[in-house]
Amino acid sequence: MRPRTFAEFQGQTHLLGEGRALRVMIETARPASMILWGPPGSGKTTLARLFAEATGVRFVPFSAVTEGIARVREIIAEAEVRLQAGEPSTLLFCDEIHRFNKAQQDAFLPHVEAGTIVLVGATTENPSFEIVRPLLSRAPVYVLQPLTDDDVQAIVRQALGDAERGLGALELNIDGEVLAQLARQADGDARRALGVLEGAALIAGPGGTVDLRVLKEALQHRFAAYDKGGEAHYNLISALHKAVRGSDADGALYWLARMLDAGEDALYIARRLVRMASEDIGLADPQALEVTLAARDAFHFLGAPEGELALAEATVYLALAPKSNRVYRAWKAARTAAREYPAAEVPMHIRNAPTGLMKDLGYGKGYRYDPDTPEGVAPQAYLPEPLEGTRFYEPGRFGFEKTLAERIAWFNRRRAEARAREGDPGLG
């Protein structure tokens, strides 16, 4: 059921609509190298085939999974011969181009630049990470989206009505509800939809009815498209983190469930939850760190699936906790100051003095033990001279940090009173 014309092609209107770059290339018959990035079953191979036919070039398919650079050289040599003979140029379609290493991808560069071949690379992985930069500069990236449910339904209807290439001769019966469910379960993948339809047709038989029971049997288990080391991994953990940060417990639970169902390492998620407790909540709710550490320990103790509930509990707690990144910001500022003043001397009064010589040199001289002072706060400085008076931590207005702000104000007030009482205009 691979589309033979653009009229049969479903989806990707953002690339093929009026005035779009690919549409203009097709209408003007001016082929150019490109990278097609999109999920499985979104039409990358079909689009490359139709593009070659519409622009009048020879289509030569190649898979980076099953073939190597030797085959690429053969194709390029044949392309050069055809060009010298005045024949149409060659569109080299490299499927799974991300499987090639840097040196192998670099081999395309001179031939793309010289116009010997038109390179169309297809990949399911983010080209920013998988395709070498010189190639990206010569072959712009076009992003294919997962097919919509309407697109998938249209493809399924084409297969049901086509007696020559599809399942039309079986005269199957399928109502709108089942068709909508099939499209939804396909996750935007036309190949998956057609594979499930074929399985359902086998179960139902000629003239049979594809109902929800048959569809469920044909679907078996629906696996999520997920790569622990790929973009989906980072997109989903980013979604979880941002849902927690945005105080959306439902969104956070959904992304947590998506990651766990896809087989993500639960302890990796637990580590990220601990990071969220420190980065996004901090001292607005100090208990958040305890909750996440307890969830990590609970999962480690119980394992899956029982331990997953502890992660869910921690996720909801974090999402609904007051948020503050003030400690995160204070730590960054302190690290910056430490790097700008790496040799600032420790004030003499707070130096350690374990020997008589060090005491004679003034180490520890003048140090006041705060609990022994009437105010409970000694009028002395704890930062090196170049940083005196610097404030790294400024509490926020929410949760426990309101109390911390009051404490800081109280300490500052008591310290000022002590200085005034002792007639000390400085910081000690």
Q: Which two tokens stand for residue 383?
A: 């930062």
Report which secondary-structure segment, H or E, holds 151. helix 149-161
Report which secondary-structure segment, H or E, holds 258. helix 249-261
> What is the CATH classification number for the domain harbouring 280?
1.20.272.10
Residues 155 and 133 in one domain: no
Q: What digits encode the pLDDT tens for the residues 115-171?
A: 899 999 999 888 988 899 999 999 999 999 999 999 999 999 999 999 999 999 999
314, 221, 232: which is closest to 275 by C-alpha? Answer: 314
CA atoms within 13 A on the CB side of 209: 7
Task: Report if residue 313 sits inside a domain.
Answer: yes
- pTM to 2 decimal places: 0.62
Task: Report if residue 42 sits inside a domain.
Answer: yes
> What is the CATH classification number for the domain harbouring 117?
3.40.50.300
Quick check: 348 and 362 in contact, CB under 8 A?
yes
Return the CA Rg of the chain.
33
Q: Domain boundary at 176, 198, 219, which? A: 219
Residue 364's domain spans which residues? 344-422
Q: Residue written as tokens 């309407």?
A: 150
Quick check: 304 and 267 in contact, CB under 8 A?
no
Q: What digits encode the pLDDT tens for the residues 237-278?
A: 999 999 999 999 999 999 999 999 888 889 999 999 999 999
Task: Report if residue 326 sits inside a domain.
Answer: no
Q: Domain boundary at 99, 128, 143, which? A: 143
Q: Which two tokens stand for residue 158?
A: 């084409």
Angular region, 170: left φ>0, alpha ψ -120 to 50, beta rest: alpha
Quick check: 36 and 123 in contact, CB under 8 A?
yes
Residues 238 and 198 in one domain: no
Task: Report if residue 336 sits inside a domain.
Answer: no
Residues 45 and 134 in one domain: yes
Task: Report if residue 330 sits inside a domain.
Answer: no
State the DSSP code for 173.
B
Residues 42 and 88 in one domain: yes
AA identity, residue 285: D
For 58, phi and psi rounded to 5 degrees? Answer: -85, 130
Q: Domain boundary at 219, 243, 271, which? A: 219
Residues 58 and 115 in one domain: yes
Instruction: State the total domains in the chain.
Output: 4
Residues 134 and 153 in one domain: no
Tens-level pLDDT at each residue, the chain (428 residues): 999 988 889 999 999 988 888 888 888 888 899 999 998 889 999 999 999 999 999 999 999 988 888 889 999 999 999 999 989 899 999 999 998 988 889 989 999 999 899 999 999 888 988 899 999 999 999 999 999 999 999 999 999 999 999 999 999 999 999 999 999 888 889 999 999 999 999 999 999 999 989 998 888 755 555 555 566 788 899 999 999 999 999 999 999 999 998 888 899 999 999 999 999 999 999 999 999 999 999 998 998 889 999 999 999 999 999 999 999 999 999 999 999 999 999 999 989 888 888 888 888 998 888 888 877 888 888 899 999 889 999 999 999 999 999 999 998 888 888 888 776 544 44
Task: Report if residue 35 sits inside a domain.
Answer: yes
